[in-house]
Structures are given as C-alpha cells and as structure tokens.
Amino acid sequence: MRTEKILVTGACGQIGTELVPALRAKYGRENVIASDRHLVTEDLVREGLYVKADVMNPVMLERVISHSGVTQVYHLAAVLSAKGESDPRGAWDLNMQSLLNVLEAARKRKNCRVFWPSSIAVFGPGSLPAACTQNSQLDPVTIYGISKLAGELWCRYYFENYGLDVRSIRYPGLISSTAPPGGGTTDYAVDIFHQALKKGHYTCFLKENTGLPMLYMPDAIRGTLELMATPREELTVRTAYNMAGMSFTPRELVAAIRTHLPELVVCYAPDHRQKIADSWPSSILDLEARHDWGWSPRYDMQRMVADMLQQLKEKKENMAEA
C-alpha cells in the first residue's frame, strides 16, 4: 500500500476544521498538509503540517503538490450559498477557478486522487417537490449552486478525459459543534444551538415549516473518508453522490432542542435566505451512495441534538476552566 500524502485546501473552514484532524488520525500527522489563504487556527498548526497557500494561484498550488509528493487533495475552499449572492461574480470566480486549478495540478501530478464537495444547492425549483434522487433534474438558482453543478461536470470531464480520480458528495446542510458555519442558508441549524445555550432565545431566519436535508458533521467526515477509500472501480457516479442524513424543519428542530432546554424561546423572521431554502428539496435519496460505498448515517435528529448540546456544554466548561 502506498503512503498517502494529503493536501487540504480551505483547511480552516467548516469542513476542514474537522476533516484535517480526522485525516491526521488516519494517515499520520506527518502526511497531512493543511492549507488556507487566511490566518490559521492554532490547532491546525500545532498539530501538524501547514502551508499558507492561495488556491487561486495555480503556480503556488502546483508547487505545493509536486514538492510534497501529494497523492490526495481535498479541495474545500469555497464561498457558500447566501454569501455568494452578495457577490455572484466573485463567488463564481473563486469556486470555479480554484477547482480548475486543483484539477489541473492533480492531472499533471498523475495518480493524485481529488475530493471536492458539491451540495444540495445543485437542485432547484425544477427538481421539486418530491425528495430528490441522484438523477432528479438539476436546476440551481444560486450562483453557489450553479458553480457546484458546473464543477460536478468538470469533475466528470477530468475523470472521463484524463482518468483523474475525482470524487464528490452533494452535502446537505452540515451541523458541527466545532466549526462555525459561514455564509450558508442552512446555518440556522448550527446558530440555534449556540444562542439557545448562551441566551435562551433565537431568531430564526427561515420560516418554521421550511424542511431541508441536514447531516451531522461526524457522519459527514466518516462518509467522506469512506468514499475516498473505496476502490475506484466500485464507483458509478462521477459527478457527485447524493448523501442523506436527516431532514427537518426549524419547528421540528426547536421541539427536539426543547426536550433538553424547555425554556428555549424562538421567533421567526425570514430574510433573503428563505428564497434560497425554498428552492432546495426538503429531503434527498441516496441509493447510489448506499450501494456503491456502503454509506449509512448514524445520527438522526434526536441523536444529533443530544450530542450537539453535550459537546457545546463540554467546550464551554473547558473554556471556563482554562
């Protein structure tokens, strides 16, 4: 078995913050290079290799990949859905150009496997109203979703034309106790926990009956590592796999949190993100992921809520002691 050398771009973001430690635990800290263009979180530097690199700079990217003998790239740097709408051209440029830079650098390097996250944002009004399957119509209305759809097709193009082993998942909204979200439409499902514990009340920016697919980060990380470890010939989807965890509305999430925190007060003030949420499916089906690489989530909403509250309380206590 070859020794993997792994580069993670956007390492300080929502997924990277949890994926990097998981990769270091699996492959050894000397074999995982975290990178980001921003100032890093101290843990990422203290616990392993780090390079400050801008994915928009193809020369720098190729240099890191070839000098370090990289065999896998997890390209996570991206602008999310809601933030992307405030600067559509900027979001398009970053999301697309960085992906093309990574695909090209990996193609030149040869035998380099790539992971790139897609999203439920590839679906849209034309895909609805039923639960979206792998092959439902793709009809994104946000620039983020449009860039994910184009990116999926680029990934398949590189696989079919250059044999580059690119793998991708259409993540639902990701819920993490460690990493703050940034600029997404599903962010309410993370913010509500922090506000519930801190203030006991929360103002939700989506309507109470807006159902969306969600996934707890420990499941997302495990599933991602499982997909990347699957033999190449077993994968049948070369755009991006649907990957389901749970689905709920804000009202259902509030009810689940209130079983632990009965005093929680929530009001609803839908803003511009409501339109984005309304364009997304309330649930997705993931038969292909289950069949091809054995995907199965471990967390439903109740388990996720219990774990989130416990993790956040422990973090608070640790900070108070420090």
Interface residues toward ligand SER, by CB under 6 A: 80-81, 119-121, 144, 171, 173-174, 184-186
Closest to ligand SER by CB, 87 vs 160, is: 87
Rounded-to-integer distance, Cα 273 and Cα 82, Å? 6
> Least CB distance from residue 249 to ligand SER, whole Å?
15
Q: Are strands 212-216 and 49-52 parallel, antiparallel or unpaired?
A: unpaired
Q: Which tokens in the block code for residue 100?
A: 């093309």
Best CA proximity match to 64, nearest among 77, 78, 49: 49
Closest to ligand SER by CB, 144 vs 159, is: 144
> Least CB distance from residue 40 to ligand SER, whole Å?
22
> Least CB distance from residue 121 to ligand SER, whole Å?
5
Rounded-to-integer distance, Cα 118 and Cα 171, Å? 6
Closest to ligand SER by CB, 11 vs 243, is: 243
Closest to ligand SER by CB, 150 vs 261, is: 150
Rounded-to-integer distance, Cα 189 and Cα 194, Å? 10
Phi-psi domain of 200 (left: phi exceeds 0; alpha: psi -120 through 50; beta: other): left
Determine contact, residues 106/164, Cβ cutoff 8 Å: yes
Strand (E) positions, the chain? 6-9, 32-36, 49-52, 72-75, 113-119, 166-171, 173-175, 201-204, 212-216, 241-242, 246-248, 265-268
> Least CB distance from residue 213 to ligand SER, whole Å?
9
> Least CB distance from residue 198 to ligand SER, whole Å?
22
Q: Looking at the annotation, which residues are catalytic?
A: 144
Determine contact, residues 55/9, Cβ cutoff 8 Å: yes
Q: What is the DSSP letter of 13?
A: S
Q: Which tokens in the block code for residue 159?
A: 């696989």
Q: How far is CA 37 from the centre of its chain?
A: 18
Closest to ligand SER by CB, 48 vs 183, is: 183
